Structure 1
Amino acid sequence: MKAVYLEAPGKIYMKDIEMPASKPGHAIVKVKSASICGSDVGAYRGHNVLVTYPRILGHEVAGEIFEIGPNDKGLKKGDKVILDPYIYCGKCYPCSIGRTNCCENLQVLGVHVDGGMAEYFSHPDHLLHKVPEDMSWDLIPLAEPLTIALHSIHRGQVKAGETVAIIGAGPIGLMAALVALEYGATPILIDILEARLDYAKSLGVTHTVNPSETNVVEAIKDITGGVMAQVVIEASGANRAIRDTLDYASFAGRIVFTGWPKADTELPTAMITKKELDLRGSRTSAGEFQEAIELIYSGKINVEATVSKNVSFDELAQSVADQSDTPEKFLKIISVF
C-alpha cells in the first residue's frame, strides 16, 4: 500500500509500505480521507523537536473499519469512523483524572509514532469514534482540529455573553471563533493577515483586529466598553502575542495558551498578580470528539469554510511541501481517497 513518507526534514514522498498486521485491541481502517495539519508542516520543516524520522505523517484521518474484533464500543466492519490520534497510557496521574491529553507517556500519530496518511491503518479500537453514515468524507477529518478549538474554549470556560479575544486566524483560531459564536460569546479575532480577517468576517465574526494597523488594546477597550476580554485564547504561538495576552485580558480574566512557541516568553508576573489572571495551557483535546462530530453534522459549525484546497491521495506528499512553502495561501488542505 502507499503512504505519505517523511524520510527526513524537507524530504517527503509517496512510498510503498507493508499492510498493517492484525493485533488484539486494534482495528484496521481503510483510510478514506485525511487533512494536513500545521504539525505535519512543522515535521516537514524539521521544526518539531518531538518528531523522529523517518515518519509516516497524518493525524487528521477518517476511514471505514476494514477489520475489527470484539470491542466495548460496539464497532463493526464497515462503520465510518474518525481516529482519535492521541494514544494515552491510561495509568499515569493525568489519565487517572480523565485528562488523557496530558498523559505522561502520550504518543501522537505522525509525531511520536507513524500516522494515518496511508491506504490502511491499524489503530486502538477504543480511539475510534463512529460518525453518521451520511456524513461527508471531506468533512470528517476536520472534527479533529475542531476538538482542539473546543478544548481551548472549554479550558477558558467560555460562557454566553463573554468576550473572547483570539490571537491567530488560522484553522484553530477561526474554529475557536466560530465555536465562541455558537456558545453565545463575542469573539474578537486578531491576526496580521487581512485576508484571513476578511474571510472570518464573511463567516459571521464581526470583530476583527489587525495589530499591524490598529492598537489592539484600544480596539478591545472600544468593543468591550473598557472591560477588556474575559477570555484570551492564544492560537498563534508567537512570543509577542503570548506577552500581549496579559494586556488584552480583563481583571479576573482567563488566558488559554494553545499555540506552541519556539522559544520561552518573559512575562511581567506583577500584572498577573494585579489582575489575578488565570493562565491555562491547552494541549490537543480530551473527550471532545462527540461534540465536534455533532457540531459539524448539524451544520452548527461550518468547518468546510477552513478548506482551501482539495487534492488526491497521490498529491498529499507534495501538498505538505506546498503548504510549507506558501502557508499564507492555505488554511486546510484535504484529500478524499
Structure 2
Amino acid sequence: MKAIKYEKPWDVACVEMDKPVRKKGEALIKIMTAGICGSDIGAFRGTNGLVSYPRVIGHELAGIIEEIDEDNPKGFKVGDHVIVDPYLYCGHCYPCSIGRTNCCTDLHVLGVHVDGGMAEYFCHPADMLVKMPEGMDWVLAAMAEPLTISLHGVHRGGLKAGEFCAIYGAGPIGLLAAMVAEAYGAHAILIDVVQERLDFGKELGVEYIINSANEDPVAAVAKITDGTMAQLVMECTGANVCIRGTLDLVSNAGRITFTGWPKKETSLPTDLFTKKEIDIRGARTSAGEFEEAIELITSGKVDVKKILTKTVPMDEAPETIIDIEKNPGNYMKVVVDLR
C-alpha cells in the first residue's frame, strides 16, 4: 500500500509499505480521506517536540471497515463508514478513570507518537471508531476531528448562549471555534493580525473581528461588550503575547481556555486571577466530542466546507505539505482524497 511518511524532518514522501495486519480488537479500515493538520506541518519542520521519526502521519481520518471482529463492542460491520478517534489512551490512569481520556498519562496520538493513517489501509481499535451518518460527505468527515478540538475548548470554557466569546487566532481551530460559538447562540469576537483571515471569518458569519496589529483589542472588546468584556476567551495560537492578552480581555468572573501550545513559558500577572476571579483551563485535543461534531457538520450548523482550501490526491500530498510549510497564508484546510 501507499502511505505518506516523514523519514526525518524536511523529508516527506509517498512510500510503499506492507498492508497492515489486523489484531484482535482492531478494525482494518480502507482510508478514504485524510486531513493535513497544522501539527503535521510542525512535524515536517521538526518543531513538534512530541514527534518521533520515521513516522507515517495522519490523524484526521475517515474510511470503510474491511475487517472487524463480529463481537466488537459497538456492533460495527464490514462496510460501515467510520471516522477515527485518533487519541489512544491507557484506560486505567486517573484521568482515564474519570472520563478525561485526552489527559491520559500515556496518551499516544496518531502520526505523533505512533504511525498515523494517511495510508491506503490502517488498523485501529474498534471501540475508537465513530459511525458516519448515511450519505455523509467523505471530505467533510475528515474535517470532523479539527472541529472536535474547537468544541473541546468551547466545552471547557462552558460557553452559553448570549455570552461574548473572544478568540485569539483566525486559523482553522480559531475559525471553527468562532463558528461553534455562533452556532451556540453566543457572540464571537475573532482577533488576529492578518486582515485577510479576519475578513474570511466575517464571510463565515463571525459577528465581530479585531485586527490587533491596527487597534487595541482591549478597547475594542470593551466597546463591543459595553464594558463587560468577554465571558469566555479562547487562545488558539500558542503565541505568548496572546496568552498574556487573554487576562485583559476576560470579564470579571469570566473563563479562559488555552488550546494553543506555546513554545516557551509565559509570564502572567497572577494578581488578575484573584482580582477578576478568573477560571483558567487547559484544553487538549478532545474527549467524546465526535458525535456532536458530526451533528454540527451534517446539520449545517457549522459549515466546515467553507474553510476547505482544496483536496489533493495522495501522490500530491508530499508537494502540498512542502508548499503549505513555505506559504501557510495560502492555505486553511487541505484534505487528501484516497478514493
TM over 0.5: yes
For 2:83, what is the secondary structure of its paired residue? strand
Letter of the aligned partner of 1:101 in structure 2? N
CA apart distance, 1:225: 0.2
Mapping for residues 113-132 of structure 1, pairs under 5 Å: 113-132=114-133
For 2:315, what is the secondary structure of its paired residue? helix
5+ residue gaps, structure 1, are none
Counterpart position of 2:318: 317
TM-score by length of 2: 0.99
CA apart distance, 1:309: 1.6
Counterpart position of 1:21: 21
For 1:251, what is the secondary structure of its paired residue? strand
For 2:232, what is the secondary structure of its paired residue? strand
1: distance between equivalents of 2:179 and 2:141? 17
CA apart distance, 1:133: 2.4
1: distance between equivalents of 2:272 and 2:300? 41
2: distance between equivalents of 1:320 and 1:207? 32
Counterpart position of 2:199: 198
Runs of 4+ in 1 over 3 A off after TM superposition: none
Counterpart position of 1:272: 273
Mapping for residues 153-232 of structure 1, pairs under 5 Å: 153-232=154-233
2: distance between equivalents of 1:8 and 1:239? 28
2: distance between equivalents of 1:14 and 1:35? 15
Letter of the aligned partner of 1:200 in structure 2? G
5+ residue gaps, structure 2, are none
2: distance between equivalents of 1:323 and 1:121? 25
1: distance between equivalents of 2:86 and 2:205? 30
1: distance between equivalents of 2:22 and 2:10? 32
For residues 173-209 of structure 1, what are the alpha-carbon distances to aligned partners after superposition, in whole Å with 9 as ceiling and x for unaligned? 0000000011110010001111111011111112000
1: distance between equivalents of 2:49 and 2:249? 30
Counterpart position of 2:234: 233
Letter of the aligned partner of 1:68 in structure 2? I
2:14–2:314 CA contact under 8 A, matched in 1: no
For residues 254-307 of structure 1, what are the alpha-carbon distances to aligned partners after superposition, in whole Å with 9 as ceiling and x for unaligned? 000000111110001111111111110000000000000111111111000111
Letter of the aligned partner of 2:35 in structure 1? S
Counterpart position of 1:35: 35
Counterpart position of 2:83: 82
For 1:187, what is the secondary structure of its paired residue? strand
TM-score by length of 1: 0.99
For 1:138, what is the secondary structure of its paired residue? helix
Letter of the aligned partner of 2:158 in structure 1? Q
For 2:142, what is the secondary structure of its paired residue? helix
Letter of the aligned partner of 1:305 in structure 2? K
1: distance between equivalents of 2:106 and 2:257? 23
1: distance between equivalents of 2:249 and 2:160? 18
1: distance between equivalents of 2:296 and 2:218? 32
2: distance between equivalents of 1:245 and 1:308? 29
Counterpart position of 1:293: 294
CA apart distance, 1:320: 1.4
1: distance between equivalents of 2:133 and 2:337? 17
Letter of the aligned partner of 2:12 in structure 1? I
CA apart distance, 1:336: 1.6
- Paired residue total: 337
CA apart distance, 1:101: 0.2
Counterpart position of 1:50: 50
Letter of the aligned partner of 2:65 in structure 1? I
